Amino acid sequence: MTRIGFAYNQKPEHESVGAAATELARPEEEPPSSGTRSDSAVATLLAPAPDDEFAEWDSAETIDAVARALAKYGEVIRLEARDDFPQRLADERPDILFNIAEGLRGPNREAHVPAICEFYGVPYSGSDPFTLALCLDKARTKEVLRANGVPTADWALVRSADDLARVAMRDWRYPLFAKPVHEGSSKGITERNVVSDVDGLRGISLELLERYAQPVLVETFLPGAEFTCGVLGNGGDARVLPIVGMNFGALPDGALPIYGFEAKWLWDRPENPLDIFSCPARVSDALRAEIEDVVLRAYTVLGCRDWSRVDVRLDAAGRANIVEVNPLPGILPDPADNSCLPKAARAAGIGYDALIGACLEAAAARQGVALGGAA
């Protein structure tokens, strides 16, 4: 029977954190259980968040659901990606490792588990360390996209307050959008990141530089519709799942059309879910083909493997641009949680277990690993 290692980072169950940290400590796409739209909500985002390091780790529910799906293919060996992970991997030597580990620390954190697998010669699922590190740097990602002719908004990187004058002097067409270069789950992204003049740009850039201690990515604002796309498979078999469209009309009156912190964590509540997604998105055949084309080109030039989720927005001319690429996509199992990759898979008739299985099978096929069913 195939021995399947399973690497993950589990979110601590009982964190003694304050409200601010709790707001920011939810895994990607998990809806909030509290919070309201108010000035204090924005203040909440901007308050210190000591437990941010757990923001993208997975819940026991997600980990159990993935383990159940993997068990159809062999014996599952849980290898939590903690300090003892390298030794446990060396001892267990699974035939293949299924990786959803977000990593412990630093801007290359997602690359660590795959790099350790490569060190020990253990086949693993998903993208390699280089692609995972690249996609956690939104500016470097854009350089690769631009160099390969894949549309992405014009940008500049503000590395320090001194850099700001140089960036501000550029011949920008406002509005602009500013965001931390290494974050996810809309950390540091609220309506205030949309700026309409140079003073606004200066203000938000200085604030983000100080608060997140990392460069700020400044981009042309993409004013059109937004989509997110799941991709499954490799090479000629890679396919885009039904496109998920954002329905910004579901946001409160006067809200800006962005899928930021407020929409993800404050306005989408279990007792009053935000009806923000439609899947398949209602788009023309021509636009669907264009979105699928840019998504697959981004997936390919960035070296993504097995699966990913790619965010897209339309520019002022209505053309599809890549916003960012997530090679370790959120995979919350409960349909009520509005997790976009499982949602897109469901629209294609692929249930949760089959989605996990498709990723594992793609990884196994690519590396010549035979998968043998559990007894």
CB of 94 to Mg ion, least distance (A): 31
Nearest to 112 by CA among 233, 247, 7: 7
- Residue 185 contacts ligand ATP per CB under 6 A: yes
Nearer to Mg ion, 102 or 311 (CB): 311
- Residue 306 contacts Mg ion per CB under 5 A: no
CB of 153 to ligand ATP, least distance (A): 5
- Residue 31 contacts ligand ATP per CB under 6 A: no
Site string for ligand ATP, 251-280 (x = CB under 6 A): -------xxx--------------------
> How many CB atoms sit inside 10 A of residue 229's CB?
28
Contact 13, 60 (CB under 8 A): yes
* 3-class DSSP state of 281: coil
Whole-angstrom distance, CA of residue 246 vs CA of residue 205: 27
**Alpha helical stretches, state H, 121-197:** 129-135, 138-147, 161-168
Give per-residue burial for 127-154: e unless 16+ CB within 10 Å, then b.
bbbebbbbbbbbbebbebbeeeebbbbe
Among 30, 102, 137, 219, binds ligand ATP (CB under 6 A): 219
CB of 62 to Mg ion, least distance (A): 18
CB of 324 to Mg ion, least distance (A): 5
Nearer to ligand ATP, 227 or 352 (CB): 227
CB of 29 to ligand ATP, least distance (A): 7
- Residue 23 contacts ligand ATP per CB under 6 A: no
State the binding partner of 177 from ligand ATP, Mg ion, none, CB within 5 to 8 A by kind. Answer: ligand ATP
- Residue 311 contacts Mg ion per CB under 5 A: yes
Nearer to ligand ATP, 96 or 304 (CB): 304
Give per-residue burial for 206-222: e unless 16+ CB within 10 Å, then b.
ebbbebbebbbbbbbbb
CB of 357 to ligand ATP, least distance (A): 24
Give per-residue burial for 339-352: e unless 16+ CB within 10 Å, then b.
bbbbbbbbbbebeb
> How many CB atoms sit inside 10 A of residue 240's CB?
21
Whole-angstrom distance, CA of residue 322 vs CA of residue 227: 10
Supply the DSSP symbol for 269.
B
Crossing angle of helices 285-301 and 138-147, rounded to 10°: 110
Stretch that binds ligand ATP, among 13-21, 44-52, 105-113, 215-223 (CB under 6 A): 215-223
DSSP E strand stretches across the chain: 3-8, 75-80, 96-99, 155-158, 176-180, 194-195, 216-220, 226-232, 239-240, 244-246, 277-278, 307-314, 320-326
State the binding partner of 222 from ligand ATP, Mg ion, none, CB within 5 to 8 A by kind. Answer: ligand ATP
Nearer to ligand ATP, 181 or 360 (CB): 181
- Residue 226 contacts ligand ATP per CB under 6 A: yes
- Residue 311 contacts ligand ATP per CB under 6 A: yes
**Pairing mode, if any, of strands 3-8 and 75-80?**
parallel
State the binding partner of 28 from Mg ion, ligand ATP, none, CB within 5 to 8 A by kind. Answer: ligand ATP
- Residue 290 contacts Mg ion per CB under 5 A: no
State the binding partner of 168 from Mg ion, ligand ATP, none, CB within 5 to 8 A by kind. Answer: none
Stretch that binds ligand ATP, among 41-49, 89-97, 157-165, 219-227 (CB under 6 A): 219-227
Nearest to 296 by CA among 350, 244, 238: 238
Nearer to ligand ATP, 112 or 313 (CB): 313
CB of 292 to ligand ATP, least distance (A): 19
- Residue 153 contacts ligand ATP per CB under 6 A: yes
Residues 165-184 interacting with Mg ion (rule: CB under 5 A): none
Residue 318: both structure tokens together: 């209505």
Q: Rounded to 5 degrees, what angle do the CA atoms 114, 354, 231 make?
A: 60
Residues binding Mg ion (CB under 5 A): 311
Residues binding ligand ATP (CB under 6 A): 28, 153, 177, 179, 183-186, 189, 219, 221-222, 226, 258-260, 311, 313, 323-324, 326
